Every structure is written in C-alpha cells, then in structure tokens.
Structure 1
Amino acid sequence: MSDLLRIAIVGFGEIACRQHVSAIAKTSGAALVAVVDPAKTPSGLPHFRDLTELLRDGPEIDAVALCTPPQVRHVQAAMALAAGKHVLLEKPPGATVSELTPLIAAAHEANRTLFATWHSRYAPAVGPARKLLAGRTISKVTIIWKEDVRVWHPGQTWIFEAGGFGVFDPGINALSILTEILPSQVFVKSAVLDFPANRETPIAAAIELSDANGLPIHAEFDFRQSGPPSWDILCETEAGPVMLSKGGRQLRDGNRLMVDATDEEYPALYRRFVALTSDGKSDVDLAPLRLAADSFMLGRRRFVEAFED
C-alpha cells in the first residue's frame, strides 16, 4: 500500500463537491484519485458509474469516501471492505443502526479502517465547549436547529424518502455535538415528528431528552425556516449560560466571546481518517444515530401540509 492514502469519492453530490474535494486537497498524506457517480463527471479525474466499475477498472486506491444517500451506503461499504479498502462514511453512517454492526466486524476482519464521521464534532468551538462544561453544573440544555431545506438540500429528494432522515439529516449534527460536549450519556424521552402529507420523513421535530440525573434537554429541528439558519445549543449552568452557535463555530461564555472561527471541519475529518488508517484503527460512534432512531421509535406523528420543493 502506498504511503499516500489514495481516495475515491463515491457519490459526487453537493457535500462532496463543496467539502470533501477541498478537504482532501488540504490534507497531507491524502490524494483524491477517482470519483464514482452515475451522472456527474468531474473534470480532471477518472470517473466511474458505480463502485463495481471502479474496483474492476479504476486506478489503485486505498480508501473510499461514501457520500451517497444513507439508504445505499451499507452495500457500498461492505463491497469496499471486502475489496480491502478503508471506508469513510458521511453522516449519518447508515439508514439503520443494526446495519453498522456487520460493517464494524467486516472492517476488523479485513484489518481496515471504518470511520463513521460526525463532522460537526470537529467544528472549532466544540472542543473548547466540552472542556468548559466539564467544570460546570448544567441545569438545562436547549437545542434550536432550523434551516431552509430548499437552500441547504436543493433537489435532494432522497432526504424525504424512507431512510433519508428528513430533518434529522441536519438535526443529527446537533445530536453529535450534544453527545460530544455533555459528560454523561443521554436518551430520548419523547418526540413529536411533523410529516408532510406527501413525504415519508419528517420536516420538523420536537424532542425531549435527558440523562440519568434528569437533566432536561429540549431540541427543535425544522426544515421550514427562511433566511439564515439557526444552529444553536444553549447550556444553562450555575455560572451562567454557555452558547454554541453557528453549528459549533462560535462559543460564548455568558457575554464573553471565546471562539469565533471559520469552518475547518472537513479538513480535520480527513486528518483523522489518515491517522486512523496509519494506526490500523476504526472510529464508529453510534450514539447520535441511536438518538435519531429512538426519536423515530418514540415519536408521535403529526401530519402537516404537503411540502413541494
């Protein structure tokens, strides 16, 4: 295997174009050598219609970054691991929780890395927030995660199909931050999920969570917000409020601005991926996915007006 981690992106949609390509270019020890997509043909790179064609006819690769919709990711990951490739999974890592268990076993058996990425955990204010909250007593947490689906997921019809997560596709970013910054495990107590009459996944959700000590955590996700997005987590503590804003790029301790940085999440993800493959390790934390699944399991469905993109 080459000292350079040669990566193929599978699924060349918006997130791959906007984040993965530039992140790989910024990562020492990694190179993008091919793209798999049934429709898009990026210039300057070998292009293949599907993963089978890549593995059969493509250049030598060491890893695949699966940026396809979650409904098809399990089959692709299993195929790549069977071919001896490392696998990076965009979030959410799969359409179900149970499908990840055989992939973890397959990666171990093949001595390959499986990396279930939670990019929002790598936002610049998340680590400082975790350290700050470790010394505080938290009395309440409020999550507001709202955006315009037409702006952030244009033309992505799969997101409203079964297995596409709906508003939990961005909402799981908040859950990934929550499970990273709190010192104790949390669980879902109840949820209300708003399903458009013509869609198979929710467009909005209100979730009540807690930890073993009864910490009240309220989360609101909504795809119908116009204008700028709201990606905020407020933790009320005995020493005052701690606010994570802008999806984890900004941190305030009371009125004091502690972090206000640019988005470097994906370069950090790929540095982590290179390190994992070098060390022969995997990283598959399913906590955010379990919370999303439990919200669907416990959620009371409300049907709302039809949504047209």
Structure 2
Amino acid sequence: MDPIRIAVVGLGKIARDQHLPAIAGNGTFSLAATVSPHDHAIEGVPHLASLDALLAEGPAVDAVALCTPPQVRHDLAVAALKRGVHVFLEKPPGATLSEVAALQVRADRVGASLFAAWHARFAAGVAPARAWLAERRIDRVQVTWREDVRVWHPGQAWIWEPGGLGVFDPGINALSIVTHILPRPIFLKAATLTLPENRAAPIAAELHLLDTADAPITVDFDWRQTGPQLWDIIVETDAGTLRLSQGGAVLALPSGTEHGEDVEYAGLYSRFANLIRGGCSDVDTDPLRIVADAFLCGRRLTTQAFHD
C-alpha cells in the first residue's frame, strides 16, 4: 500500500518538535511538502509559501496537518477539503465550535477524514487511567495546570488575541484528558477568568464543573507559575485516589506508579492513518465546548498588564 503523502502547514515549534519526528517515525506517511510564509524549509522537502500554492502547483498530497494558530485554521481546512484532502487539526481544532461543526459537514460531503487531534489523550498514563476509572464511583476531581507562559509561549502574540484562548491553550489539554477518562459526561457550573488589562485572553481561570452524578470537578489554570510547573489531575474514588501527573505521562494508582515514555504524537499519527484507511473522521469537541462555556458565562476579573 502506498504511503499517505502529507504536508505540514505551519512550521512553528510544535510542528518541528512533534509533528515532523512523528511523521518520520511512521512508515504509513511520507512527508510530501511543508508550508509556511515565514519559516525556513526542511532540507530535501518541497516548501511553499501558502497552502493555496501547494494545492494548485503540487506536489500532490493526500493529507495536511494544520499546525497554525487556530484563528486561521478553518479557511485552510476548507481549502484542503474542497480538494478531498484529509485534514489533521492541531488542538484546539478551531477558534469556534460552529466552524468545526461546519468542517465536519464538509468532510463528510467529500468523503475525507477530519481529525481533531487531542495529543494529551495519548499520554502514557491516560488509557490505563480511563480503564481503571470505568467501574469506579467518582467522588471528586482536582485539576491543577500551572505553568510559566514566558517559558512555554514566548512572543506568541496570537495566543492573547480572540480565538487564541490564552491560558486555555494549555488548559484545554487537561480538559481533553478529563473528558476522556471520566466515565460520565461533565458540564460547567461556574467560571472565573482573569485577564491582564492589556490582553484579550485570560492569564488564569478557575472552573467549577459537575459530572452527571454530581461529583465536583475543580479546575485551576494559571500562566503565572514560576518554579516547578504543575500538570496534575487527581481523582478521588471509592477505591482510592488516582493521580495523573506530568501532563498524563505518569499514573499513580493505589497499587503503584507507572511511568511511560512520550508517545503522544506517535499515537496521534497512528490514529490519523487508521481514520484515513477506514474512511472515518474523529471530531470530538467536548474539551472546546467547556472552554466556550467558560467564555460564555464566566465572571471576568482584570489584573495587571502582562508583557513578555
């Protein structure tokens, strides 16, 4: 079977650190081209300044991985889907829920695969955590996602603009795990968003959610963390406490602790290949829906200006 010819659109840090190595390590794909109006090319790989140029001039591609900021991703996905090209959407899958729903309709119409790729769900501890929780009574959940924005997102102005999500850009990784591992649906009850006076997106957020059995879920996102960075999910159950740390890479159960290797993007590309070969899509928007609800009904506080 011929490899799936894929182009990577957007060559920022996530594309270079994660997407390109994952594609190189998966024999189902071949890197056909890269696209960016600003970033330099990869040696030996055709490089174009725009997706329109790639689709018009070649080389031919079967799929694209969209690694751009979310605010421009919809139009790029539309251009690809019009040609019947399969689309991998980095997280979050779009700037709005409605545009992602519209992309799903387009993908279904042309028979292309659309993949909303939540990489944190493929962290080593997530699948066994989901399995362990499946038959447990959930008593309460605490999510703490605190990191230093100057370390992880230096100079990324787009992330502070409408549609860029602010602290929810990393926080949505936690929500993607929680919505995946808990055995019942969850929904937002209240939120507080803290915005710097010179920015359009929050630097911190507190969420209060419930599952459909009324188990409370408390979420603490903050981009002002210095010192140790915290990416923890603690689930108290009738059988003891489960802890996912390091963004889902380490799972601690009452029976012991499991450490896994970084396989997130390898897992994503295996999933994308299976979707394409099977003629299917996977467009789960539950994590983005919770973020949208927080922006819809959350109380807003203003804090001091933030400067990189």
**What is the CA RMSD across the aligned residues, in angstroms?**
1.0
- The superposition leaves residues 251-276 of structure 1 with CA deviations (integer Å, 9 ceiling, x where unpaired) of 1113721x201211001100110111
Q: Is the 8 A contact 1:139 1:237 kept in 2?
A: yes
2:302 aligned residue:
303
1:161-172 equivalences under 5 Å are 161-172=161-172
Q: CA deviation at 1:58?
A: 2.4
2:154 aligned residue:
154
State the AA in 2 paired with 1:221. F
C-alpha distance in 2 between matches for 1:54 and 1:122: 30
C-alpha distance in 2 between matches for 1:52 and 1:215: 48
2:87 aligned residue:
87
Q: Is the 8 A contact 1:146 1:220 kept in 2?
A: yes
Gaps of 5+ in 1: none
Three-state SS of the structure 2 residue aligned to 1:98 is: helix
State the AA in 1 paired with 2:267. A
C-alpha distance in 2 between matches for 1:184 and 1:249: 23
2:18 aligned residue:
19
Three-state SS of the structure 2 residue aligned to 1:288 is: helix
2:218 aligned residue:
218
C-alpha distance in 2 between matches for 1:212 and 1:142: 17
1:78 aligned residue:
78
Q: CA deviation at 1:32?
A: 1.2
Work out the number of aligned pairs and report it. 307
C-alpha distance in 1 between matches for 2:177 and 2:127: 10
With structure 1 as the length reference, what TM-score do the two structures score? 0.97
State the AA in 1 paired with 2:99. E
Q: CA deviation at 1:5?
A: 0.6
1:273 aligns with 2:280: no
1:287 aligned residue:
286
1:244 aligned residue:
244
1:32 aligns with 2:23: no
C-alpha distance in 2 between matches for 1:272 and 1:43: 25
C-alpha distance in 1 between matches for 2:284 and 2:116: 7
Q: CA deviation at 1:169?
A: 0.4
- The superposition leaves residues 100-126 of structure 1 with CA deviations (integer Å, 9 ceiling, x where unpaired) of 111111101111000000000011110
Q: Is the 8 A contact 1:80 1:86 kept in 2?
A: yes
2:175 aligned residue:
175
State the AA in 2 paired with 1:146. R
1:48-197 equivalences under 5 Å are 48-197=48-197
Q: CA deviation at 1:202?
A: 0.2
1:9 aligned residue:
8
Three-state SS of the structure 1 residue aligned to 2:266 is: helix
Gaps of 5+ in 2: none
Q: Is the 8 A contact 1:126 1:248 kept in 2?
A: yes
Q: Which moved more, 1:18-27 or 1:53-62?
A: 53-62
Q: Is the 8 A contact 1:46 1:58 kept in 2?
A: no
Q: Which moved more, 1:236-245 or 1:67-76?
A: 236-245
- The superposition leaves residues 37-66 of structure 1 with CA deviations (integer Å, 9 ceiling, x where unpaired) of 111112321111111111112211100000
- The superposition leaves residues 178-207 of structure 1 with CA deviations (integer Å, 9 ceiling, x where unpaired) of 010001100000000000000000000000
State the AA in 1 paired with 2:282. D
Q: CA deviation at 1:227?
A: 2.7
C-alpha distance in 1 between matches for 2:8 and 2:150: 25
